Amino acid sequence: MDQHFPRPEFAAELTQQLLGQSMFATDTLFLGAPRRTGKSTFLQEDLTPALEQKGALVLYVDLWKKQDADPVDLISFTIANALAQQQGKIAKVAKAAGLTKVSIHGVEFSLDAVGKDPGASVADALQELQKRAGKPVVFIVDEAQHVIKYEGGMTLMFGLKSARDTINRPGARNLILVMSGSDRDKLLRLVHGNATPFFGSDITTLPLLDKAFTDFYAGLLAVEKPELQPDNERFYKAFMKFHHRPEPFLKKFNTLTGILGPKTKKDLHDQFDKLADEYEEEQFALYETAYLGLTKLQRAVLTRVLSHGRTGKLFDVKALEEYTKAQGKQVLAGAARNAIERLREIDPPLIWKSARGDYAPVDSGMRTWYEMLVRNGEWPPQD
């Protein structure tokens, strides 16, 4: 049974935009989504096939899967591999297949040299690739924010932008870039500021999976085990306790609905609700651990972010008074800004900043946790 939940409408909408068939056309898309909310699955299982159906050649590289590798190498090698394939080579994995050379403008270069040695630039390789493919090339870089940590990463991003500007012409959209990221704050560093490679680009937020997602799996279960007749509303409420994350939800779903699973609808939902509660409690425990690992000032700043909307003021007189009370000594705006930067830089980051200077928790589940403790009179957590 195919358990992939398709999102064809959104994939078709983005495809039209990327291929210039929409009034909202763009040749560079930045797509942000919290980690583990289905972004990579959407890119590979929905957007890529939709683009290929419209005649595009799609390149995909996930910088998250090989975090110990230099993103510059991964991106450059992905392009070189695709070029080798277009030149009639068999390149499942170039080195493993014994491939060592690609030809760019008639000159041979080592696969490892693409994007590094003079005369083997990323722009030249992409231009050669598009020419040989004879179709638009869409390059998807998943978790693109990882490039900012590596020497040469931003230079490579400037190279991709240069390639886009060189290859594309009015009426000829031949190179399209898709940059995704689960760390929106870091992804902003590629688009926000005059010195960034994609200055002026916006970040599109991938919509969270909603009730249509759980309705889909409830439908599969109803066909597979009609005696259970699942309650769609209860399924969705359980999914919200998984913070809209499909992977942990489906793991529990598949385990619970297996051959030794519950035999009645009531048992099904009672057990699934329990699993959802346990998952949320585990997440809340992680939030508490992260909070207790902060300094007093960092805790106060995080509390301000959690207790206010994105437009909450973090440096006005009232905010500084709150920080001063928590710290036990006067806190000036500079110290508060340093605390915020630390909350943005730790791994995983706790808050992100928008291009307009708004702040929000990276994981929306943290605000749910905060609001629950406030309602119960248990905020703040105690060491």
Name, in order, each residue with C-beta under 8 angstroms of 330's C-beta and a sequence gap of 6 or more.
Answer: 324
CATH number of 293-374, picked from 3.40.140, 1.10.10, 3.30.420, 3.40.225 = 1.10.10
Specify the 3-state DSSP secondary structure of 55: coil
381, 373 Cβ separation under 8 angstroms: yes
CATH level 2 (architecture), domain 6-203: 3-Layer(aba) Sandwich (3.40)
Distance of CA 286 to the CA centre of its chain: 21
Q: How many CB atoms are located within 10 Å of the residue 255 CB? A: 12
Structure confidence by residue, pLDDT tens digits, 8-25: 999 999 999 999 988 888
- Would you state the structure tokens that stand for residue 306, as one six-digit string? 């959690």
Partners of 30 in the β-ladder: 179, 203
What type of residue sits at position 107?
A: V
Question: Are the folds of 6-203 and 293-374 the same?
Answer: no
Cα 47-190-82 angle, rounded to 5 deg? 45
| Regions of the chain with pLDDT less than 70 | 1-2, 89-100, 117-119, 309-312, 354-356
- All structural domains of the chain with their residue ranges: 6-203, 209-286, 293-374
Q: Which residues pair with 137 in a beta bridge?
A: 57, 175
pLDDT in tens, 147-166: 887 878 898 999 999 999 99
What's residue 238's pLDDT?
96
pTM of the model: 0.85
Outline where 242-363 has alpha helix (H).
246-256, 265-292, 296-307, 317-327, 333-345
- Residue 205 dihedral angles phi and psi, to the nearest 5°: -90, 125
- Of the candidates 357, 170, 373, 361, which has an alpha carbon nearest to the alpha carbon of residue 281? 373
What pLDDT was estimated at residue 93? 45
| pLDDT of 355 | 59
Read off the DSSP letter of residue 169. B
CA proximity to 160, closest of 114, 203, 192, 206: 114
Is 40 strand, coil or helix? helix
Q: What is the pLDDT of residue 91?
A: 44
Query: What pLDDT is attached to residue 193?
Result: 80
pLDDT of residue 90: 46
Q: What is the pLDDT of residue 327?
A: 92
